[in-house]
Amino acid sequence: MRRFVSLIVAILGLACIATLPASSSGLKSAGSEAAGPKAEEHSVVAGHYMFAWVGDAAQQGMDFLAVIDADPASANYGHLITTLVTDQKTGYVHHTEYTMPASGMLFANDHDAGRTFIFNVRDPLHPQTVTSFNDMDGYSHPHSYVRLPNGHVLATFQHAHHEMHADARGASGGLVEIDDTGKVIRSASSADATFPDALLTPYGLAVLPNIDRVVSTNSSMHDDDIFSGVTYQVWRLSDLTLLKTEYFDVGENRYAQISPEEPRVGPDGSVFVQTLGCGLERITEIESHHPRSQLVYSFPGNWCGVPTIVGHYLIQTSPNIHSVIVLDIANAAKPVEVSRCKFGEKFRPHWTGWDAKTNRIVVTPGPSGEERLYLLKFDPATGAVAIDESFHDTDGNAGFNFSNREWPQGWKGTGAPHGVVFSR
pLDDT of residue 170: 62
Distance CA 334, CA 329 (A): 7
> Looking at the DSSP assignment, which residues form a beta bridge with residue 386?
377
- What is the per-residue pLDDT across 255-299, written as a single tens digit (0 to 9) for each? 999 999 999 999 999 999 999 999 999 999 999 999 999 999 999
Pairwise CA distance, residues 119 & 307, whole Å? 24
Q: In Å, how far from its chain's centre is CA 332?
A: 22
CA angle 271, 272, 276 (to 5 degrees): 140
Residue 330 CB-density burial (10 A; 0-12 exposed, 13-18 middle, 19+ buried):
middle
403 or 45, higher pLDDT: 403
- With H, G, I as helix, E, B as strand and everything else as coil, classify residue 287: coil
Residue type, 262: E
- Mean pLDDT over residues 67-88, rounded? 98
Alpha carbon of 181 to those of 84, 88, 118, 165, 170: distances in Å?
A: 19, 19, 8, 31, 32
Query: Residue 79 burial (CB < 10 Å; 0-12/13-18/19+)?
Result: middle
For residue 323, the number of C-alpha atoms closer than 13 Å in the C-beta half-sphere is 20
Q: Is the pLDDT of residue 38 over 50?
A: no
Q: What is the pLDDT of residue 12?
A: 34
Q: Is the pLDDT reported for residue 201 higher than 80?
A: yes
Q: Considering only CA atoms, which of 296, 274, 271 is closest in space to residue 284?
A: 271
Q: Following CA atoms 400, 79, 314, 19 in sequence, which dihedral angle do they give, to the nearest 10 degrees? A: -80
28-30 and 80-89: which strand pairing?
Answer: parallel
Distance CA 315, CA 48 (A): 23
Other C-beta atoms closer than 10 Å to the C-beta of 11 total 10
Q: Residue 279 in contact with residue 257, Cβ under 8 Å?
A: yes
Using pLDDT thresholds of 50, 70 and 90, give the confidence band for residue 15.
low
352, HSE (Cβ side, Cα atoms, 13 Å): 30
Give the mean pLDDT of the chain.
90
Complete DSSP assignment for 65-125: EEEEE--TTSTTTT-EEEEEEEEEEPS-EEEE-SS--TT-EEEEEETTTTEEEEEE-SSTT
Reduce the DSSP state of residue 297 to 3 states and report it: strand
Q: How confident is the model at residue 30 (pLDDT cuts 50, 70, 90)?
A: low
Domains and CATH numbers, the chain: 135-304 (2.130.10.10)
- Residue pLDDT, tens place only, 219-255: 999 999 999 999 999 999 999 999 999 999 999 999 9
Write the Ramachandran bin of 310: left for phi over 0, alpha for psi from -120 to 50, otherwise beta.
Answer: beta
User: Minimal CA–CA distance to 3: which of 159, 230, 222?
Assistant: 222
What was the pLDDT predicted at 16?
62
Exposed, middle or buried by CB within 10 Å (0-12, 13-18, 19+), for 317? buried
Residue 26 has pLDDT above 70, yes or no: no
Strands lying side by side in the sheet with 271-275: 260-265, 271-275, 279-284, 292-298
The pLDDT assigned to 21 comes to 33
pLDDT number for residue 368: 85
